[in-house]
Amino acid sequence: MQRVRYLKSGWQLLKSSCEGAAKQANTQSSSSRCYSHASSSFGLLFDIDGVLVRGKTPIPAAKQCFKNLVDRSGKYKVPVVFVTNAGNCMRQTKAEHLSHLLEVEVSPDQVMLSHSPLRMFTQFHKMRVLVSGQGPVEEVAHNLGFQDVVTIDVLREAYPVLDVVDHNRRPKDVVPPTKGLRPIDAVVLFGEPIRWETNLQLIVDVLLTGGNPGSTWSSAHYPHIPVLACNMDLLWMAEAWNPRYTSTPQSEILQPSKFTVFLLYSAMEKHYYQNLPGPV
């Protein structure tokens, strides 16, 4: 029932985006400068990755399609919304990227990213959340409504002995003291991180210690703190001939059946509060 409730909420968010685009098409304001003011009985919803673009390369037919969707002044003839499973950037950045590639104006209000539904998760917005991904993850989190954000880099600096896979990043001589942080209340996975081993290890530490990675693992911390995973797609298409991995391998490792090493050690199970399947 919980999953159904959030799927309905996601649909409402998507519906509101489309309705917002439709209203812009009929409103005289600076935010509707990219729309024709003629009324329309329908709108269009476009996936981005692998449909309109592959990486930084636009698909030729897509550019021609959008030439047909705008009038002579460059305004859309019908409301248009773009959806993507990407989550390591702001809507403004993605809108500017699409505008450049498709050679039409795309506003941030027309873009829905994989983390957009988190705006509705208001029960988490005042919690202390650990965010994982790359790019401006802290800015993205604040933009979504999260007020108390901790990044992986901040966590590893506070607990320098936890990140030891890369020998070059280990403490050289005397082990520096831990700074200590207030306990983490929830984990948010925005997208694929650059250093998977660091993110995975620290997230596991946070989950198995009830949000306090400076303490010893304990099976008493179950159910563990919530995990919000934004994009559960395994593969995506970029410029390469073959599909590329997303952040899902990391999420899959944290699933109960893949959590073997830590299950044997701590007798705990992995439980996701919510997996956001992404807009597409």
Q: 3-state SS of the chain: helix, strand, coil percent to 5?
A: 40, 15, 50
In order of their start, the domains of the chain are 2-112 (no CATH), 116-275 (3.40.50.1000)
Q: What is the pTM of this model?
A: 0.75
Q: What is the pLDDT of residues 213-264, one digit of tens each?
A: 988 876 655 678 888 988 777 777 777 778 777 665 666 666 543 443 444 3
Cβ within 8 Å of residue 66, ≥6 positions away: 102, 103, 104
- One digit per residue, the tens of pLDDT, for the chain of length 280 reads 444 454 455 545 555 555 554 454 444 444 455 655 566 788 999 999 888 988 788 888 998 999 999 998 889 999 999 998 888 899 999 999 999 999 999 999 999 999 999 999 999 999 999 999 999 999 999 999 999 999 999 999 899 888 888 777 777 776 666 677 899 999 999 988 888 889 989 998 998 888 999 888 766 556 788 889 887 777 777 777 787 776 656 666 665 434 434 443 444 455 555 566 666 5
Q: What is the pLDDT of residues 48-60, one digit of tens each?
A: 988 898 878 888 8
